[in-house]
Amino acid sequence: MKKKKIAILTGGGDCPGINAVIRAVAKKAMLEFGMDVIGIEDGYDGLIHDRHRKLGYNEVSGILTLGGTILGASKISNPYQYALQKGKAIVFKDVSRKAIANFKKLGVDGLVCIGGDGTLGIACRLMKDGIPVIGVPKTIDNDLRGTEITFGFDSAVAFATEAIDRLHSTAQSHHRVMIVEVMGHRSGWIALYAGVAGGGDIILIPEIPYSLEAVLAKVRDRKKKGKRFSIVVVAEGAKPKGGDVVVKKIVERSSDPVRLGGIGFSLSDQIERATGTETRAVVLGHLQRGGSPTAHDRILATQLGAMAVELVVLGQFGRMVAVEKGLITSVPLETASGGPRTVPLDHPLIAAARALGTSFGDSK
């Protein structure tokens, strides 16, 4: 009988736990089913340009605790909208046929795509074009539809919480307002969880447009009560009522070109001018993506990777492994591309934070 083969790629931004998934997929495929395992390099860019390598047992051993991805990743390599230089201009071209032809040359029985909504949205299109795909949900933002949680989120929250803890002492010592800007383009899961865990006085998330006056009122109220410092935790995608997000830069070669960042510095200037209280902003940025995954993320990533192999063996392609009611299951792959999973306004953690006096920059 022909020996089965499986391929893996990691797309989008890196995050803690990707290597744990690679390890789980590869080891289970090798040890339990005797499969060969192929690693596609640099996400869909490797599929487009035919860059790959066979993964041996030793290569995937000892990577459980490593951050990042041993296969590399790319956020700008969409085979359906691939950026090409044409003179001085950048044009986008559909090179999916080339990617599909390169995949078929590998002779593999299934492709495991590890990524967020962008990566899995592309995977869904590839599935419709004849590539047998299984998706594994990955994003520190925790905003992927179809699953209750994604690996990488717990690690990002743990780091952001530690950063907030460290800033508390500086804020208290110098009687400052300290603003911590965390990731969260379209959803505020990191800001909400880290803000509550770190004792943030003000938490600003994309789901609740804020009023600057409400933010200032909270800072002033704390000062009246003898609290001469405040901690503000803000998601990069937060915006004022009637206003817009702060854009850091535009990446022309990306099919999703907008990169956010800078809301923390903008707020810092506004708060200091209005209250006279010294205000500083810290942007955690890509520090949230790096480092070793937490125990929770290692366990979750291992479970998701093992389940992905099961789906390949069963021939249940076009599925994404997921967490539902605390259990590992699978959902249709297209579920992941249905837009961001935002924080519900009636989320119990928002209610709990409000009950403790936390402001979300609104009138409540």
**Catalytic site positions:** 141
Report the alpha-carbon angle 358-362-363, nearest 5.
95
Phi then psi for residue 207, to 5 deg, are -70, -20
CA 255, CA 263: separation in Å to the nearest integer? 23
Strands (E), the chain: 5-10, 36-40, 52-54, 77-78, 81-86, 89-93, 110-115, 133-137, 177-182, 202-204, 230-235, 247-250, 258-260, 279-283, 319-324, 327-332
277 φ/ψ sector (left φ>0, alpha ψ -120 to 50, else beta): beta
Rounded to whole angstroms, how far apart are CA atoms 329 and 264?
A: 38
Tell me how far apart the alpha carbons of residues 74 and 51 are, in angstroms, rounded to a whole number.
Answer: 13
Integer Cα distance of 44 and 254 in angstroms: 13
Q: What φ, ψ does residue 159 adopt, rounded to 5°?
A: -65, -45
DSSP, collapsed to helix, strand or coil, labels residue 189 as helix
CB 229 within 8 A of CB 199: no
| SS3 (DSSP) at 177 | strand
Spatial contact of 208 and 235, defined as CB atoms under 8 Å apart: no
| Cβ atoms within 10 Å of 254's Cβ, excluding its own | 19
- CB atoms under 10 Å from CB of 143, counted, come to 23
Collapse the DSSP code of 223 into the 3-class scheme (helix H, G, I; strand E, B; otherwise coil) and give the result: helix
